[in-house]
Each structure stands twice: as structure tokens, then as C-alpha cells.
Amino acid sequence: MDLGIAGRWALVGGASKGLGWGCARALALEGVNVVMVSRGAQALEASAAKLRAECAGSAAHKSAEILTVACDITTAAGRAQIFALRQDYDIVVTNAGGPPTGDFRTWERDTWLAALDANMLTPIELIKATVDGMAARGFGRIINITSSAVKSPIDILGLSNGARSGLTGFVAGAARSSLAAKGVTMNNLLPGIFDTDRLAGNFAAVAKNTGKSPEEVRANRIAALPNKRLGTPEEFGAYCAFVCSVHGAYINGQNLLMDGGSYPGTF
């Protein structure tokens, strides 16, 4: 299937690894020009080089530019660096890693403000900076990587549960604004359990709290999943690319869960 987005420009946050990397990869393989962002310059350049090589070696690939900006996307200075490179993004994937796990009794105001900055206010700033240009050009896709915890909260992820619920409420309204009639869609992708460094960190935190080994925590978690395996960043990226495609034009304002069937509800 031709996704019809070759030649578009995408901004992908948290793109050096994990789910952001999966999204950058799937878009680039579709011929979308991608600006990849993360803080660690070395890992970012290595991931960009790997992706350029994969695109060059792919028979189906339509040529795409792959650029990098090494910065903290959660800061105004970082976002200024990104928009100094270019302003007219057609696709924006908001993502900046997740907040730490912990016990809510230990979180002070500053901890909450950092989580809100990273997981609610940064996506809103990126949306604010790009959607009017998208509307003027008649095409735009906002994808926010949130979490299955928005539907099924996890106690030790209270910072994530809270901040992402705020973003979800904002997007629910903005997606249904006058932008919708101008070809701009906004959706949240809700990952369940995907095999990334972040997940390994969560397993390590649970292991520390329970006295089990991280390997045991991982094995128990997998055994409890309907699919009996973790999701992959490549699968996540493919879903993202479809929602960003011309075929995704009628998907708007949704919270799209991708969790291998873990969510236990009927709806």
C-alpha cells in the first residue's frame, strides 16, 4: 500500500531509540523527510546513519532526507533549535521519554512540573507551533506517543498517568476544532508493552521493589500478555506511519491503543 506521504516533512521527538526510532524509521522508509531529535548526539547520529543505510538498501524506498537535532525537546531553547532548522512540518510525532516511576508520596512540586513539562506542555507547544502552517497547506498529522496507562493506570507511573491525562484532554478538544476541516488530524498512540530501553528500566524498578530479578519480572510480564511477547518498535512505527498516511485522514481525536490485547475491557 502506498501511504501517499513521500516528500512530506516529519519532526520526530525521542527518535534515537525505542518507539520514536520506530516511527522515524517507518516514515523514512515511506519517503518522508525526517528530522530526528534526542539529547544524546552520539546515539542520535548513529541511529540516523543506520536509518540512512537502511533506506538506501530498501528496494521499495523513495528517497528521504534524514536530519538530526541534538537537543532537549522539553526546553524552549531545544525547540528553538528544531524550528531554526525548519518550521513547516507536515507530521509531528511528540515524544520525549517518560517520567520516572516512584511513590507519589515522595514527589514534590518540582517533580510534578518536570513531568508536566515533558509529557503535557511540550507536546502542546509543538502542536501550537505547527498546526496553523499545516492547516494553511491543507495537510497535517499530530501523533502524541502517550501510554496505555491513560486507559489502564499503573500505580508506580503516577507522574505519567497524571501528565498524559492532561494532554489527552487537551488533544480531545483541539482535534475537533476548526483545524479538522483543514486536513489536520491529531491522535494519541497508546503503547502497551514494547521492547525498549525504557521498558527495561521499568522492569529494573519493579525488580528492586519486589526483590525479584529483572529477568524474572520480564518473564512474568510476558507470560501475562495475551500475545506472549513484547511489541517491537518496528510494529509501533508501522502503525504510526499508517495513521500519518493519506489513508488515515478520517482518524481524528482518537486514543489508539496498541497493546497486543492486554487491555481487559470490551471497549
Q: CB count, 10 Å around CB of 40? A: 12
**In angstroms, rounded to a whole number, what is the distance separating the alpha carbons of residues 259 and 28?**
24
Three-state DSSP state, 197: helix
Q: Which of 109, 88, 112, 110 is nearest to 99 (CA)?
A: 112
Q: Residue 39 interacts with ligand NAP (CB under 6 A)?
A: yes
| Three cell numbers written together for 79 | 525547540
Q: How far is the CB of 243 from ligand NAP (least distance, A)?
A: 15
Our CB check for ligand NAP shows the closer of 98 and 248 to be: 98
Rounded to 10°, the helix 197-210/214-223 angle is 110
- Near ligand NAP by CB under 6 A, which window of 13-21, 132-140, 218-226, 242-250? 13-21
The amino acid sitting at 104 is F
- Rule CB under 6 A: choose which of 9, 18, 33, 235 binds ligand NAP: 18
Q: Is 196 in the site for ligand NAP (CB under 6 A)?
A: yes
Per CB under 6 A, contacts with ligand NAP among 206-235 are none
Give the distance, in angstroms, between the CA of residue 115 and the centroid of all CA atoms in the same chain.
15
Q: Nearer to ligand NAP by C-beta: 163 or 179?
A: 163
Of the candidates 197, 219, 220, 227, which one interacts with ligand NAP according to CB under 6 A? Answer: 197
Smallest gap, in angstroms, from Cβ of residue 97 to ligand NAP?
3
User: How many helices and strands, by DSSP H and E, does the chain display?
Assistant: 9, 7
* 20 belongs to the binding site for ligand NAP (CB under 6 A): yes
Q: Does 14 bind ligand NAP (CB under 6 A)?
A: yes
185: which 3 cell numbers?
A: 488530524
Site track 140-179 with ligand NAP (rule: CB under 6 A), x = hit: -----x-xx-----------x-------------------
User: Is 157:192 a contact under the CB 8 Å cutoff?
Assistant: no
Q: Binding of ligand NAP at residue 73 (CB under 6 A)?
A: yes
Candidate ranges 1-9, 189-197, 208-216, 248-256; the one touching ligand NAP (CB under 6 A): 189-197
DSSP output for 43-69 = HHHHHHHHHHHHHHH-TT-----EEEE
Helix/strand/coil for 77: helix
**Strand, helix or coil for residue 212:** coil
Which CB, 39 or 52, lies closer to ligand NAP? 39
Is 203 an interacting residue with respect to ligand NAP (CB under 6 A)? no
96 scored as a contact of ligand NAP (CB under 6 A): yes
Residue 178 per-residue DSSP state: G
Chain residues binding ligand NAP by CB under 6 A are 13-20, 37-40, 43, 72-74, 95-98, 145, 147-148, 160, 191, 193-194, 196-199
